[in-house]
Amino acid sequence: MGQRLRRFSRPLPVLLVVTALALLARLVALGARVAHQDEGRVADWILHYMTVGQWQYRPIIHGPFLPHVNGVVFSWLGATDATMRLVVAVGGGLLPLCAYLYRDRLRDDEVVIFGLLLAASPALLYYSRFMRNDLLVAACMMAALGCWSRAAATRRIRYVLAGTLPFALAFTMKENALLYPVAWIGAGVLVLDRHLLAAALSERGLVASVTDAVGEWRRSAETRTAAAFLLALPAALLVFAAVVVAFYAPIPEVYGLFGGPGAFAGVVETATVDTWHAFVGTWAHAGMSSHSTVEFVGRLLKIVGLTATVTCAFALVGFVRERYGRGGTRNVVEFCFYWGTASIFGYAVVTDILAGWLATHVVAPLALPAAVGLAWVHRVGKRGYVAGEPIAFRLAAAVLLVSAAVVGGTAAYTSYAAPQDGETNPLVQYAQPAGEMKPTLAEIETVAAAHDGIDVVFYGEEFYNPSDLERPPSLEIESGGYPGWFARLPLPWYFDRYGARVGSTTDRSVLADRQPPVVIALESEAGAVRSALDADAYTERTHQGYQSGRPLVFFVRDDATEGATTDAASADAAGAMPAPNGSVVAA
pLDDT attached to residue 467 = 80
pLDDT attached to residue 263 = 72
Residue type, 381: G
pLDDT tens-digit series, residues 555-574: 999 988 775 544 443 333 33
The ranges of the chain with pLDDT < 70 are 1-9, 198-199, 201-228, 258-260, 281-290, 326-327, 477-479, 563-587
Rounded Cα distance between 337 and 359, Å, is 14
pLDDT attached to residue 585 = 28
What are the two backbone dihedrals, phi and then psi, of residue 304, each rounded to the nearest 5 degrees?
Answer: -65, -40
Rounded Cα distance between 84 and 132, Å, is 10
Q: Concatenate the DSSP letters of all residues of 111-165 into one string.
A: HHHHHHHHHH-HHHHHTTSSS-SHHHHHHHHHHHHHHHHHHHHH--THHHHHHHH
Determine the length of the chain. Answer: 587
pLDDT attached to residue 578 = 36
Rounded Cα distance between 68 and 97, Å, is 25
Residue whose C-alpha is closest to residue 343's, from 120, 141, 480: 141
pLDDT attached to residue 260 = 66
Whether 332 and 102 have beta carbons less than 8 Å apart is answered as yes
Whether 284 and 335 have beta carbons less than 8 Å apart is answered as no
Q: How many CB atoms lie within 10 A of CB 161?
A: 15
Residue whose C-alpha is closest to residue 143's, from 127, 124, 165, 117: 165
pLDDT attached to residue 483 = 86
Question: Helix, strand, or coil here: 582?
Answer: helix
Q: pTM of this prediction?
A: 0.90
- Alpha helix ranges (H) inside 290-437: 293-307, 309-324, 331-350, 359-386, 390-412
Q: How many CB atoms lie within 10 A of CB 289?
A: 15
The one-character DSSP state at 472 is: -
Residue whose C-alpha is closest to residue 33's, from 330, 334, 437, 356: 437
